A and B are shown apart, each in its own frame.
Chain A
Amino acid sequence: MPYVLASAGFTPPGPSSFWHPLIGDGAFAVTRSMFVVVATVIIIGLVMTMTAKRLQLVPTKGQFAVESLYNIARNQIGVDFIGEARLRPFLPLLVSLFLFILLNNLAGIIPFVQFPSMSRFGYVVVLTLIVYVVYHYVGLKKKGFGGYFRGFLPPGVPIWLVPVVYPLELLTYFVTRPLTLSLRLFANMFAGHTLLLVFALGGEYLLLHSGNIFLQATSVASFAMFIAMTFFELLIQFLQAYIFVLLTAYYIADAMAEEH
């Protein structure tokens, strides 16, 4: 029967699937994502301090793993975009952002946790606000108010185009950059987790509630997709943490750049 899913009341996952109050309810509820965020902060703090206390010239496996993650944020992103000479003050921000976002994203597929905190927009907004304040502050401090605002205009724009290009640059620096930065991370985590929910809940429904042997057989495909998409999510989760930090470094470097 082709109508069986529509008629038998399968509830597809939606935005409400992301609301997990554990203690209390309403605006002051303590949610699952809060526990995830606090846990990741504690884990990062403990692992980093313990590794830093026992640094060895020939690293152990654990030290090597932590150093590899640190080097992604430092060498692949920081040195490439900001440059070794000016990187020092921004290194803690870049490394912390990378580890924090990475761990919170990975929480989406860690068994029994299974909630990516960044699929709640509020966390992403706060992270973006930090980046926003930092790159504007850096630019204003380096070039002064007039110099910073003059610097938005790229060189080589003919004078008659300045009245449209300049507002475009202003809008980009002040509105659409933070907007795209935050939405990219949030939407990827939200959509990815919804996709996993669709295949997991769909498979469960087909297997236990369809009451039809052929539909029950198709649940195998649904569960297979769930597992495949989980591995795909692993890639996306890593990639999104990487991109967020990469753009942070790029915005900071751009705010300090001499040429334009």
Chain B
Amino acid sequence: MSSVPAYFLAGAALLGVPGWALDQWLGTRAFVAVGVLAGFALAFYVIWVRYVGPATAAADDTHGGARPARSDEESA
């Protein structure tokens, strides 16, 4: 959510900088773009893990099955 820009910036820097260094070393131009895009993908993944996927699902489970209980009440 609110720290999404921070993740994208970190992702781009984390893999973009090594990509740029690789380009300098090999005399190519493609690796910096590959690195930045891979960094964005990684940032998407981490944001998903934190705010949408397994982490939030696990947090919901620990709250103790509120949803089934409510559905029982409705049916009763």
Instruction: Name, among A154, A165, A171, the residue most crowded by chain B CB atoms within 10 Å (CB to CB).
Output: A154
- How far is it, in angstroms, between the C-alpha of A254 and the C-alpha of B1 when the chains are bound? 12
B22 interface contact, C-beta 8 A? no
Closest beta carbon of chain A to B18's beta carbon, Å: 11
Cβ-defined partner of B55 (8 Å) among A154, A179, A180: A154
Q: Which residue of A lies closest to B9 (CB)?
A: A176
Chain A nearest Cβ from B48, distance in angstroms: 10
Q: Are B10 and A171 in contact (CB under 8 A)?
A: yes
A167 to B42, CA, bound (A): 11
Judged by a CB distance under 8 angstroms, whether B66 is at the interface is: no
B53, A168: Cβ atoms under 8 Å? no
A254–B59 Cα distance when bound, in Å, is: 14
Contact A172–B59 (Cβ < 8 Å): no
Inter-chain contacts of B1 with A (CB < 8 A): 250
Interchain CB contact under 8 A, A154 and B10:
no
Q: Which of B2, B13, B42, B53 has the most CB of A within 10 A?
A: B2
Q: Give the complex CA separation of A69 and B14 in angstroms.
A: 40
A-B CB pair tally, cutoff 8 Å: 69
Contact with B along A159-189 (1 / 0, CB 8 A): 0010011011101100111011000100000
Inter-subunit contact A180/B6 (CB<8 Å): yes
Q: Is the CB of B49 within 8 A of A157?
A: yes
Instruction: Tell me the nearest residue of chain B to A167, going by C-beta.
Output: B14
Which listed residue, A165, A171, A172, touches B3 by the CB 8 Å rule? A172
Shortest Cβ distance from B19 into chain A, in angstroms? Answer: 13
A247 at interface, CB cutoff 8 A:
yes
The main secondary structure of chain A at its interface with chain B is: helix
A156 to B10, CA, bound (A): 20
Cβ-closest chain A residue relative to B11: A168
Interface residues in B1-25 (C-beta closer than 8 Å to A): 1-3, 5-7, 9-11, 13-15
Bound CA span A156–B62, Å: 15
- A177 near B55 (CB under 8 angstroms)? no
A143 to B41: give the CA distance in the assembly, Å. Answer: 30
Q: How far is the CA of A175 from the CA of B17 in the complex (A)?
A: 15
Min Cβ gap B15→A in Å is 8
Establish whether residues B46 and A169, one from each chain, have CB atoms under 8 Å apart when the complex forms.
yes
Tell me whether A2 is interfacial, beta carbon within 8 Å: no
**Closest partner residue, chain B, to A161 (CB atom):** B45
A97 to chain B, nearest CB (A): 15
CB < 8 Å: which of B3, B13, B15, B45 contacts A247? B3
Min CB distance, A256 to chain B, in Å?
15
Contact call B6/A156, Cβ cutoff below 8 A: no
Contact B3 A179 (CB under 8 A): no
Specify the chain B residue showing the minimal Cβ separation from A260. Answer: B55
Determine the chain B residues whose CB is within 8 A of the CB of A167 once the complex forms: 14
B29 located at the interface, meaning its Cβ lies under 8 Å from any Cβ of chain A in the complex: no
**Binary interface profile of A, 228-260, with partner B (CB < 8 Å = 1, else 0)?**
000000000000000100110011001000011
Listed from nearest, the 5 A-B pairs whose CB atoms lie closest are A156-B54, A171-B10, A176-B6, A176-B9, A172-B10
